[in-house]
Structure 1
Amino acid sequence: MHTTPTPRITRRGLLAGAGAGAGALALGLSVPHAQAAPVSLPQANIDQLFDDFLARHAVDHFNRPFTRAIDPTQYECTPDDAVDVWMTAQMARLSEQDRQVIQEAGLDILPAVDAMLTTDVTGASYALTRHAHDLRKTFTKCQRFWDIDGSDITLMAMSTDIYTDVERMVRAYTELGLDAATSRELAEFVKSYVPSSKGLEGGHFPLLSFNAFAYSTFGQQPQIVDRIVMGEGLLRAYDELGFGDVAPQVVLAHEYAHHVQMEIGMITPDTMASSTPEGTRRTELHADASAAYFASHPKGLSMQTKRILAFGKVFYGIGDCQFASTGHHGTPKQRHAAAMWGVQVQESTRPKSRIRPTRVLRDEFDAKLPELIAPDA
């Protein structure tokens, strides 16, 4: 059955083929790799199948690879050095064979497809591990803070143990559009290959789950409940960059804000079906502002402004410059400005304990948006 789900998948790009152009975080890297003979994989155009899958599910924020289109005459769009250096270090550990397998077998796709479509959201495979306590606590606070009904949203992890589960991989491959025989052949290959790869860390290579997203089918598939999916690799990155005290909470708050948008009509099946770069940028920047507002609010996370913005510099530094893409999230400068605005709204509110209604905050944001995205802002 065709559905019109609305994920907000903030994937930060992963692998282009060897020698490909730079991705969103300089992923077309000139780094040494151990040479290995090419492996023999079943013929499957994963890139095209994935594009078709995204179109069927109205997903417009999960690009593979996530390339950057820079217009330096209008926008400042430089990736954050800290994230760039961290990702370069991760990529340097992969062999050429690892790269080939990730690209041609879609290893970076499987956990997201699995997390989007599983009905076993409370199963052990999808249990939070890294920062589980902080994430659950923040999730509960989000539900209490915003004036929408969030009781039907599930918080879960993106599971990389899928690489050991042939049946789950077969399902993911068939959902992408592969025939049953090819799906099983690929799944059996992945199960045998991943444990043998030192670079892939037994499937825990962080860039395979460097993602977080909110997802809903707007009730068109009742068995697929609304969800927020947190990737282990994304949280690991921010831990290693020194932001483990703020990253899990702020990333989750951003994704929860997308569910708020679904409830107040900013995101609907119609807006997803006719998404535009400008429309997506609006919802992404609003989610940035809402997350910062919640994180700094005394009834939210009550975080220090300096810490929120310090993390924001890194988090929003992986904004994108795909100005013509329907998945355009806003430039790093615009995303930082939106977060700063959210903090300023909270700081200017009297009494300090007052929480702005979601629709009021939306209207105030829309009035501010032209200033936030102005090229010379």
Structure 2
Amino acid sequence: MFKKSTSCALAAGIAITLGLSLAPAAMADTAAGPTPAAVSGASQLDALRAELPADWAARVADARARFGLDATTWADQTRSVIDGSDYQCASTPVNAWLTAQLAGVDRPTMRAIDELAGFDLATYDALIFGAQDKRNTFGYDGSYTNDLNRTMDGMKKFWDFDGSDIQLIPMHGDTYRSIDRMVRVYTAVYGLDAGTAREIAEYVQSLILSQPGLRQGDNPYFTFNAFAFDPAPEDVEQFPGLTKRIIMGDGVMAGLRGIGLQDKAAPLGVLAHEYGHQVQYANNLFESPLTGPEATRRTELMADAYGTYYLVHARGGALNAARTLDVQASFYNVGDCAFTNDGHHGTPNQRLKSATFGASVVEAASNQGHKLGALAFDAKFEAVLPEIVAPDAH
């Protein structure tokens, strides 16, 4: 996912993304109705609602729009504008896997957390307050750390622009085990006073702890995101030290592993896609005659192609055929059918086609050691884009 400094064309003030049905409403109600924790906390929730500013909902929505959370590949995208019958598009294994992670978690609790913007806290904590550090780890067990760092370094050397100021930052669920970090987000992002922010943070944390299935914040739902970010001047003014960055959530990596993509190439595909957005920022490639969903789809599919080109190239990731298949599968599994949503990133088939195209550019080169610059590669991509997005149901 990604956030465009001048407009939210993304994917996220931020961004890579998808079309999963992740909203709490998608969960099944528990047979017995609200849990005891939800019932006993109802009056407390009402009291907190009374303390929230009258424009609370607007503040939450404005923050999501500013930082592009609604447009990321991993966001819930449900509306459609193109006739869905013209495309082969269905729920992917990642969708089913993530839904299964919430089995046993009651819907009233999820709704309360969502109402208080609780599910966005880890994202903002990483985006605004995170920093690149050699002590950072990636993945629940840290097993992706070396591969992601090595790939990040390789991409900075591979592409023909200065990416030295782009930081790679992890997103973990431990945000929810620190009241101070939660308060910091509530005050900085939503403008709440410290007292109200602390009350809300403590209540949200209590809700999370009341549900064993939420794993004290380590349920993949909380960190199911990955995105690229290019701060606007006003972002840097408000948050000094904010840099270009790529955020990688533990939940995304766990999800790819959970659907059988055990090789580490799949998360590398996500990272390479996000770096593809940084290539676009550097070369002003977000601008096009396209608008709405088609505009976002173009940039997302282009990032898939950029990412795969790097990973397959002999001077890039140099992946073999088997690992390339895992990369392609990772893109397929984050496709979405939200045809009418401005955050539409392309159907599973379209994303697979884009990744396949990126690999084919490498394979077709007469000189395997030669690498294309960003603009030369873009020219090739723009030429095949109409074919990639053509209806494929028949």
Q: TM-score, normalised by structure 1?
A: 0.85
Deviation readout 1:179-217 (Å, 9 max, x if unpaired): 324322111223334334311111100111011111111
Match for 1:52 among 48, 62, 72? 62
Q: Is the 8 A contact 2:27 2:107 kept in 1?
A: no
Larger mean CA deviation between 311-320 and 147-156 belongs to 311-320
**Is 1:144 aligned to residue 157 of structure 2?**
yes
1:194 corresponding residue in structure 2:
208
Q: Is the 8 A contact 2:230 2:244 kept in 1?
A: yes
Q: Distance in 1 between matches of 2:19 and 2:330?
A: 13
2:78 corresponding residue in structure 1:
67
Secondary structure of residue in 2 paired with 1:109: helix
Deviation readout 1:24-55 (Å, 9 max, x if unpaired): xxxx2447567503233222687643321133
**Is 1:307 aligned to residue 323 of structure 2?**
yes
CA root-mean-square deviation: 2.8
Match for 1:167 among 180, 183, 208? 180
User: Runs of 5+ in structure 2 lacking a partner?
Assistant: 8-12
Q: Is the 8 A contact 1:212 1:230 kept in 2?
A: yes
Q: Distance in 2 between matches of 1:98 and 1:349?
A: 55
Report deviation, 1:320.
1.4
Q: Distance in 1 between matches of 2:254 and 2:128?
A: 24
Deviation readout 1:332-356 (Å, 9 max, x if unpaired): 1111111111111110012111111
Q: Distance in 2 between matches of 1:89 and 1:8?
A: 24
Secondary structure of residue in 2 paired with 1:252: helix
Deviation readout 1:281-332 (Å, 9 max, x if unpaired): 1110000011111111111112223432344235323311222222111111
2:199 corresponding residue in structure 1:
185
1:102 corresponding residue in structure 2:
113
Q: Distance in 2 between matches of 1:236 and 1:358?
A: 31
Report deviation, 1:228.
0.6
Secondary structure of residue in 1 paired with 2:133: coil
Larger mean CA deviation between 286-295 and 232-241 belongs to 232-241
The equivalences for 1:119-138 within 5 A come to 120-122=131-133, 127-128=137-138, 129-138=142-151
Q: Distance in 2 between matches of 1:7 and 1:59?
A: 7
- 1:99–1:318 Cα change, 3 Å: same
User: Runs of 5+ in structure 1 lacking a partner?
Assistant: 21-27
Q: Distance in 1 between matches of 2:199 and 2:101?
A: 28
Q: Is the 8 A contact 1:119 1:225 kept in 2?
A: no
Larger mean CA deviation between 29-38 and 192-201 belongs to 29-38
The equivalences for 1:1-377 within 5 A come to 4=6, 6-10=13-17, 13=20, 15-17=22-24, 20=25, 28-30=26-28, 35=33, 36-37=35-36, 38=38, 39-40=41-42, 41=45, 42-43=48-49, 48-57=58-67, 61-62=71-72, 65-69=76-80, 71-80=83-92, 82-118=93-129, 120-122=131-133, 127-128=137-138, 129-177=142-190, 179-180=192-193, 181-218=195-232, 220=234, 221=236, 223-245=241-263, 246-267=265-286, 276-376=292-392
Secondary structure of residue in 2 paired with 1:233: helix
Q: Distance in 2 between matches of 1:107 and 1:58?
A: 17
Deviation readout 1:143-195 (Å, 9 max, x if unpaired): 11111111001111013211122232123223443532432211122333433
- Residues matched between the structures, number: 360
Q: Is the 8 A contact 1:111 1:160 kept in 2?
A: yes
Q: Distance in 2 between matches of 1:196 and 1:115?
A: 24
- 1:123–1:146 Cα change, 3 Å: closer
Q: Distance in 2 between matches of 1:12 and 1:324?
A: 12
Q: Distance in 2 between matches of 1:97 and 1:87?
A: 18
Identical residues among aligned pairs (%) = 36
**What code does the residue aligned with 2:294 have?**
E
**What code does the residue aligned with 1:79 have?**
S
Report deviation, 1:252.
0.6
Report deviation, 1:106.
2.7
Secondary structure of residue in 1 paired with 2:285: coil
Q: Distance in 2 between matches of 1:88 and 1:358?
A: 37
- 1:33–1:335 Cα change, 3 Å: farther
- 1:282–1:227 Cα change, 3 Å: same
Q: Is the 8 A contact 2:331 2:355 kept in 1?
A: no
Q: Is the 8 A contact 1:34 1:95 kept in 2?
A: no
2:10 corresponding residue in structure 1:
none
Deviation readout 1:116-157 (Å, 9 max, x if unpaired): 211644396x64334101111111111111111110011110
Report deviation, 1:60.
5.1
- 1:244–1:147 Cα change, 3 Å: farther
Q: Distance in 2 between matches of 1:199 and 1:34?
A: 17
